[in-house]
Structure 1
């Protein structure tokens, strides 16, 4: 039984939301960040990069305190306001390719995460969890929701559709040509229906935001231990989430690029590949796989199709069926010697949202020697791996939607 609650979001004013909203800090190039910081005083990037006004890189606790200061200044200057009563928030995105995403921003339970009612499919890195926990504890807010997914549900869909007949509280288009909308769900009957509907769901699944979830759990433990009057209902017992129906998720693959052949010649590498794959040279014709356990490879100016010889591979678990795991266990680890997918600097990942020609250009630039493409994982694979208590290799999925930071903010 999942616990989802409305909350009092801190939000930009209607006239400034398009200026405040930003992508995640890491998604910008340095030039893009600097342009926004130079020319847009309302960008949320000013909050998360507080040292920019001093032309200085600031890190650690000193940065966290300055982030808190910048956030307070935005509130003092009435760039942000806080809703007077708890609400759910319908967030809709129509992207540049006219894909539509509808979800509900809400507070999800840390206890549900701890008890594996909110399930994960990726491992997290303990040091990153602790760093983000310390950040949250100092700044006192979170501006990036965890993306959770749930089975399609008529009751929730009907409330979303009904509310979207009204004028949106926010409507703005970004320079990325995505249009974003926000509606407030304030009616007690709708809030009760949404709360009860989620309460009847046995599980939710994390689609994106595993480190944010884990950090929220650590934060909850810290603040719980410091609060002698802890009740379990304090805001730190919850984390901001964006809940979206499974049918509206878009899952893309992450393709792999490798810098060398682990000391092998091209011919030696292909011979070793032949043990576990049926190989066909496609020449200059780009090859995009369309089936599970089929891969594309670009090497030395030519495309290849790789079809797994299933008699040479053990499908023991749901994880073994995942193409990212197949590639790791048959090529990356045994042939190319890559054992640590998170930290080995020889491997690089690019989103499969860009076509296979993007992979080709990376190899042609001589920065990498070989690239591998695959089909995306499915929502059912992701759920089964989570249900089985297993975890995917890093960068197994690139999941949309990606909502903007600073549109709804959750305070602890």
Structure 2
């Protein structure tokens, strides 16, 4: 049996991952091929979480490198759900490489992602997989991009891909950890990709209208759901770059930009926060912000998660800045989607056949392996991408359609 360790099981997202694993184990045992063990620093809380879900557990910290390596050696895959990831991800990823254990996390911070990308050479030499950012929107946009490129290649239009724009809608309820990630991502400038290189543009300079429609009935009425979005420092920019450079498509890396849907008041607040970004990193301001964050709930309640859906859209432009294709995917609550996604990635990496997957990988390299359409529920008894259950099949079918222009 393949062994998977979940580190950070006592956090908000960690508990949801454990819940999803327990659901799979109990409701679809024929499809549950792994053995999940929970871990974190907090011994007392860890015991409570593990006992209520009937998982094995053990507590350890990340300060002693040798101790961490010993803890990881019995496992095929480790999932890192412990924030702040700037402190946990480098330590756990390096220890995993020493322990010959595959590593998966749900990082949302660009700086952390780029630090782990530097481990690619070591991971390839040791034939181990590092999958960073296997969370909600980055995984969704990454899979949509993989699908888009395959469709464009089949239509002999892949060479027309000159600009890629990724956008996500707002969600009404955020976890405390997500708010921390958003605050850490606030800068005076936004990272974009130009001619294969990272460049920085001022916040507020890049804004555009996106079509977030996914319902074919709505489109027949020509009542498209368009909304203004502002460029932001999303992990999707980096995962898209790595997906394009890692596939044998032989195309020039297009310009890549990521956006968040923002109404007028939110855009003004976003630009004000960016102008004050330097002060946000002062120790006094950070302590005050942390104090205020501690007063927030840990994350959305079960009832709130029912109304916490999100849409991810990508638009492909040619050299004339004309949109040649768009894809949109409507998803349920992003925290539940993250739990399903990261487990799917970990389960696949734990399979013996996955030994051919190694190096620093994007989520789609694992989710779309072997080469199938992960958005088609008919392809897999248990879809590789996070949308399980027949209730979402109509939504997935409409998400696969493309709206070609020209």
TM (norm. structure 2) is 0.24
Q: Which structure's relative contact order is higher, taking Cα pairs within 8 Å and 6+ residues apart?
A: 1
Q: Which protein has the bigger helix share?
A: 2
Rg larger in 1 or in 2?
1
